[in-house]
Structure 1
Amino acid sequence: MMMPGGHMTSGTGAREKTFFGHPRGLATLFGTEMWERFSWYGLRAILATFMAASPVVGGLGLTQQTAQAIVGIYGALIYLVALPGGWVADRVLGARRAVLWGGFVIMCGHISMAIPVRTGVFVALGLLLIIIGTGLLKPNISAMVGKLYPEDDDARRDAGFSIFYLGINLGAFIAPIVVGWLAADNRWHLGFGAAAVGMALGLLQYVLGRRHLKGAGEEPGHRLTPREHRHFVLSALAAAVVIAGALAAWVASGTFDLDTFALVVTVIIVIVPVVYFAYVLFGSHNLTDDERSRMKAYIWLFIAAAVFWMIYDLAPTVLLFFAQDRTDLSLFGIRITAATTQSFNPLFIMIFVPVFASLWVRLGNRVTAPQKFAFALFMIALSFVVMALAARLAESGRISVWWLVLVYLIQVFGELSLSPVGLSVTTKLAPQAFKGQMLGVWFIAVSVGDAVGGQTGRLKNYMSDPAYFLTLAAIAVVAGLALLASVGRLRAMMREHHESAAGTGPASP
């Protein structure tokens, strides 16, 4: 039980320090994740503008379209590697060592980015290391939070995750402000260095606080046998050699270019969920009729989520370039950097999470997951209708940055209607044989959206900025209307009517 002063008594009467009434290990993971997110969002806030900046001022000199495509597949791969990262922790390293090594690799990636030489080699190496490291750290640090609590302590575990996610958004809010200020006036590598320092602080916190984790994630859940381990190592090395060889041959052929590379990676990423869903539905997994029906319904929601993220995750590219090139970067009379506009989103999330959490409780099962997804799509569409109007006004000169504040506010309403609901409905609709994998599959929707969103920059070769924003808004509206028109059918496929009739209580959101 809790004692005054942030202590907890055990059955023997011993006093143990807590973190806001939670295990001390939560403080360790909170700080580690906050600084890791600081490094991730700090880099993201300046990456596209760095890539598009002239080599004269230390940039890579890419077009904004190419920078958008590269940042898109970078973000996509970050989410895609969560699946193999979770597998490596579960079968080889254990969550604790996976987080440690992941953080170290991320830090090395940021250091590579910070090396002040005018070549894209260290940038490419840095991004690759960050992708690999994030795949190890991101899914496994969340898993460790859950392991800090007894299995029957659901209420405190949920509250613990709320505190943990506060750390994510604190890091995401602070990073663009700090890194953007340091990287101003073309001090790009100073900004990248700050991201490296952030990850180093997270690692320091993790190492110093590891004793408070009390064995959480110490051992793999299903360790490979020695024979399986050798097979895994050989397969990983073979895959790396094949990929490296294919890239080397492509470069040597003289036909390699970044735009085509980004397109090829995007196609591969889009194929991944197609293959996975086909494997689940048509493989021999002894799925029940209800499980198969729910999975088919989930595919609809997966596509809707991918459309949402396709637009939403244009923030670090399209909206960032708009802030840099078309707005008067002044808030309350204070000059800000374009990167600082990336802090609007996490600020609004921290403000409105309690509001939406309360709203969903009040609405109960009167509003279904497909309806919430449709609302999210309408919100993301509305945000780009606002962007179309802003882009039209900006044709006559720079406009107020408050237009972007409004856009991010609308988008957050959409995110809070889709992101947490998507996690919940994923766990609900997952077949029993795939329960452990399906949360990773949910993040593949983000991956697909990011990759395809990066390719939408090609549309700007054929249309104006206002038309570009309206085109993407129209896609979201069509997807939202399709969901609304199919609510009854999807509820039947999700077996919600059947559950209500059977007296199972309200469906999960």
Structure 2
Amino acid sequence: MSQLTKKQIVESVPQKGFFGHPKGLFTLFFTEFWERFSYYGMRAILVYYMYYEVSNGGLGLDKTIALSIVSIYGSLVYMSGIIGGWLADRVFGTSKAIFYGGIFIMLGHIALAIPGNISLFFVSMILIVIGTGLLKPNVSSVVGDIYPENDNRRDSGFSIFYMGINLGAFISPLIVGSLMKTSFHLGFGVAAIGMFFGLLMFVLTKKKSLGLAGTQVANPLQPSEKRKVFSIFAIAAVVIGILVAIAIPRGWLTFESFIIIVGILGFLIPTVYFIVMYRSPKTNDVERSRIIAFIPLFLSAVVFWAIAEQGSTILAVYADTRTNLNIFGYQISPAFFQSFNPLFIITMAPVFAWLWMKLGDRQPNIPQKFSLGLLFAGLSFIIILVPGYLGGTDALVNPLWLILSIFVVVLGELCLSPVGLSATTKLAPVAFSAQTMSLWFLSNAAAQALNAQIVKLYKPETEMMYFGIIGGTAILLSFLLFAMSPVIQRFMKGVR
């Protein structure tokens, strides 16, 4: 079967039907809405489930260990995307990857919903890691497929898609956070139901709205390659299994050593992938130049996500232990604060989408938008250290400080994240389209692998120094990136 061209794929997708955007954006918007509902609902209560005492329905783990596990789990979720992207590009296409991923995620949440022990907990984490790796990068890649090249609607479309992500993420902590007072497992069960609805939405609407988008294998394995590749996978699985079986009884593989291993992989894997794509004979000179331009954007995203992703770790603990949760006589769940990030994105995403379209060719270029994202991320940590400076680190603080910090980091997220998704589809080499999207998500994996080490440094007595050093570093890097933006733009070869 001959390969479809970009034009043929785009022509198969109805180009009007969802707020002036391709009709397929409707399917992808609601598929991702339900997937994010399930993921963020689970994540809103995950750290509490781990460190709350068994008598309160939790697992009773040490708080520092729980923070590191949540970071490592988040890193693995995004790291697995590189495998999901490879499978989509080389084996079964993005559409099937999305479907299979949803099945694994749903099973993982069902496992969490079953009262059990620490072993069942880790089984559920493995299922969700595999599922998200298949679904997350590929659904974003299909968004890029439904637009013609150089379509001015693309950035706006990604902003709308991003709003769908955050609509699900806004609702779920409110529901699941309320249920955690009754039972953590009941909350996880609701997350499983959310993923089921996402799968249903995708299956029922994809044929009419997505056309050929996602159906093609971009760089299929040749018959001569298949046996070699799958033999390597089988041998690697056996070797890893043997090493784990030996290492655990001897005490070599512990939580601490595993965290270090994942931390190394978080930076080693993207480094190897940049080299492989750059050196590939399937990558032309223009694409190589764009890969070089992608590197500083990737590193900037790592710094940004290292701050933003602490909303589910350090700031979740801050909400639970440092924030006054008594609002007008009602004791709210600390998980509720994780709804503010998506709430602000929902309200501000249309503003940013309108702003970029209004400015047109006068809008900041991609590196400049990234520098703004870093600036706001740094300021969000500077804000959260102020109440500790004013009232000390022992007193409960007004929740408005935490809400303001979340609002400021959201401004940065809207400058960086949807723009990064769009830029990735523009800068990706043709032969590595889905895998480059996976590489973009590896910036989050690297950030959370880094956080697994950083979160150990957070204590009440180091609170101000913790927020001050990290926030100040991000601000300095934002100025550096802004100064480098003209050079990066030249390497992007016409992409804006």
Query: TM-score per shorter chain, which class?
Result: 0.7 to 0.9
1:102-124 C-alpha deviation (Å, 9 max, x unpaired): 1111111011111101x211111
Range that drifts further, 433-442 or 74-83: 433-442
Corresponding position: 1:326 with 2:322: yes
Partner of 2:487: 492
Range that drifts further, 370-379 or 100-109: 370-379
Which runs of structure 2 are paired with 1:51-70 in the superposition (5 Å)? 51-70=50-69
Partner of 1:375: 372
- 8 Å Cα contact 2:180/2:186 also seen in 1: yes
Choose which of 294, 297, 306 in structure 1 pairs with 2:302.
306
1:331-372 C-alpha deviation (Å, 9 max, x unpaired): 576542111100101111111123233444538457444433
Please state whether the residue corresponding to 2:313 is helix, strand or coil. Answer: helix
Q: C-alpha distance in 1, partners of 2:17/2:363? A: 39
Partner of 2:168: 171
Which runs of structure 2 are paired with 1:127-166 in the superposition (5 Å)? 127-145=125-143, 151=148, 154=151, 161-166=158-163
The answer to which structure, 1 or 2, has the higher relative contact order (CA under 8 A, 6+ apart) is: 2
- 8 Å Cα contact 1:69/1:259 also seen in 2: no
- 8 Å Cα contact 1:376/1:415 also seen in 2: yes
- 8 Å Cα contact 1:381/1:476 also seen in 2: yes
- 8 Å Cα contact 2:89/2:434 also seen in 1: no
- Compute the displacement of 1:155 (Å): 6.1
- 8 Å Cα contact 1:429/1:494 also seen in 2: no
Corresponding position: 1:194 with 2:190: yes
- Compute the displacement of 1:330 (Å): 4.5
Partner of 1:473: 471
Q: Percent identity?
A: 43
- Compute the displacement of 1:81 (Å): 2.1
Partner of 1:13: none
Q: CA RMSD in A?
A: 3.3
Choose which of 440, 458, 466 in structure 2 pairs with 1:460.
458
Please state whether the residue corresponding to 2:376 is helix, strand or coil. Answer: helix
Q: C-alpha distance in 2, partners of 1:294/1:217? A: 24
Describe the shift of the 1:124–1:424 C-alpha distance in structure 2 as closer, same or farther (beyond 3 A): same
- 8 Å Cα contact 2:219/2:431 also seen in 1: no
Partner of 2:448: 450
Range that drifts further, 464-473 or 421-430: 421-430
- 8 Å Cα contact 2:322/2:395 also seen in 1: yes
Which runs of structure 2 are paired with 1:42-81 in the superposition (5 Å)? 42-81=41-80
Choose which of 275, 280, 295 in structure 1 pairs with 2:272.
275
- Compute the displacement of 1:140 (Å): 2.5
Give 2:37's aligned amino acid.
F
Q: C-alpha distance in 2, partners of 1:22/1:481? A: 35
Range that drifts further, 428-437 or 220-229: 428-437
Q: C-alpha distance in 1, partners of 2:222/2:283? A: 27
Q: C-alpha distance in 2, partners of 1:430/1:276? A: 12
Partner of 1:98: 97
Choose which of 215, 228, 233 in structure 2 pairs with 1:236.
233
Range that drifts further, 385-394 or 268-277: 385-394
Describe the shift of the 1:421–1:160 C-alpha distance in structure 2 as closer, same or farther (beyond 3 A): closer
Which runs of structure 2 are paired with 1:347-366 in the superposition (5 Å)? 347-360=343-356, 361-362=358-359, 364-365=361-362
Give 2:53's aligned amino acid.
S
Q: C-alpha distance in 2, partners of 1:27/1:99? A: 15
> TM-score w.r.t. structure 2 length?
0.86
Q: C-alpha distance in 1, partners of 2:309/2:451? A: 7
1:346-400 C-alpha deviation (Å, 9 max, x unpaired): 1111111232334445384574444333332221111111111234436242122
Partner of 1:86: 85
Structure 1: gaps spanning 5 or more residues: 1-16
1:158-186 C-alpha deviation (Å, 9 max, x unpaired): 6655544332111011011011111125x
- Compute the displacement of 1:310 (Å): 0.7
- 8 Å Cα contact 1:43/1:191 also seen in 2: yes
- 8 Å Cα contact 1:76/1:448 also seen in 2: yes
Corresponding position: 1:40 with 2:39: yes
Give 2:476's aligned amino acid.
V
Corresponding position: 1:253 with 2:250: yes
Partner of 1:5: none
Range that drifts further, 448-457 or 351-360: 351-360
Q: C-alpha distance in 1, partners of 2:85/2:215? A: 14
- 8 Å Cα contact 1:294/1:494 also seen in 2: no
Larger radius of gyration: 1
1:17-43 C-alpha deviation (Å, 9 max, x unpaired): 956676765544433221111000001
Describe the shift of the 1:426–1:145 C-alpha distance in structure 2 as closer, same or farther (beyond 3 A): closer
- Compute the displacement of 1:450 (Å): 1.6
Describe the shift of the 1:372–1:205 C-alpha distance in structure 2 as closer, same or farther (beyond 3 A): closer
Choose which of 398, 406, 409 in structure 2 pairs with 1:408.
406
Structure 2: gaps spanning 5 or more residues: 1-15
Give 2:486's aligned amino acid.
R
